[in-house]
Amino acid sequence: MLSGRASDRAYETLRREILQWRLAPGTVLGEVEQSTRLGISRTPLREALSRLTADGLVEAQSGRGLVVAQVSPAAVSELFELREALETAASALASERRDPGEFARLADDFDGAAALVEQGELEAYYALVERFDDAIDESLGNPYLVGALRGVRTHLQRIRRLSQDDPARLVRAAAEHRTIAEAIRDGDAELARSATRIHLRASLRHIQANPRLEASEPKESA
């Protein structure tokens, strides 16, 4: 059912499991163990691990082989520094290249997003954010920049699970997104940049203020 290559399936499966915390940070990824579990041989599994390492989701631990990359409060701050650099630039550039209609629609949708959140339709809200990200990517028309953004968003998915969905924060985030979308719609690059920075700083502060980071020690599988 899933696409042809075993290495692709292994990559997608492991990636999903890591992002969903089904594979916790520090988990040792033995080649034999994982290839057996996924029903493939070591060869395609190794390719999958290689790609995950390139993504930064898997790290080499001193002598112990590969483990799921750790997450620490410091890493979150560092990731957000990169994120701010990329997304402020992306918003500014998108302002100059966007399809105004698309972002007008997004601004309207974010206007109604508070209702979504308050009705518990979190999936719908996250889908809207994803549509927003896609619209920016498409406006940019820059594979290098989009690729860097993708990498950051990957890590963000894992971090998002640190602070559970807080409806109050999401309502505010929706308003911030709306401001960004309006600025891009109006072609106001500097305003888009500022609005993006404000949104990211608020997001980071929220995550830091809700530290669900259990000190994830490198642990042996039980």
Closest distance of CB 83 from a second copy, Å: 9
What DSSP state is assigned to residue 165?
P
Residue placing its CB nearer to a second copy in the complex, 83 or 169: 83
Q: For residue 60, give the amino acid letter.
A: A
Round to whole Å and give the CA distance between 199 and 145. Answer: 20
Round to whole Å and give the CA distance between 143 and 166. Answer: 33
Contact 84, 200 (CB under 8 A): yes
Q: In this chain, which stretch among 110-118, 151-159, 162-170, 209-217 interacts with a second copy, using CB under 8 A?
A: 151-159
Three-state DSSP at 39 gives: coil
Find the helix or strand (DSSP H, E) in which 58 lies: strand 58-61
Site string for a second copy, 50-89 (x = CB under 8 A): xx--xxx------------------x--xx-xx-xxx-xx
Q: Is 171 exposed, middle or buried (0-12, 13-18, 19+ CB in 10 A)?
A: middle
Residue placing its CB nearer to a second copy in the complex, 17 or 84: 84
Contact flag: residue 155 with a second copy (CB under 8 A)? yes
Interaction partner, residue 51 (a second copy, DNA, none; CB < 5-8 Å by kind): a second copy
Residue placing its CB nearer to a second copy in the complex, 93 or 135: 93
Interaction partner, residue 101 (DNA, a second copy, none; CB < 5-8 Å by kind): none
Distance between terminal CA atoms of the chain? 32
Tell which positions 111-150 bind a second copy, by CB under 8 A.
141-145, 147-148
Contact flag: residue 51 with DNA (CB under 7 A)? no
Q: Is 58 exposed, middle or buried (0-12, 13-18, 19+ CB in 10 A)?
A: buried
Q: In this chain, which stretch among 4-12, 107-115, 165-173, 179-187 interacts with DNA, using CB under 7 A?
A: 4-12
For DNA, the binding residues (CB under 7 A) are 4-8, 29-32, 40-44, 46-47, 62-63, 65-66
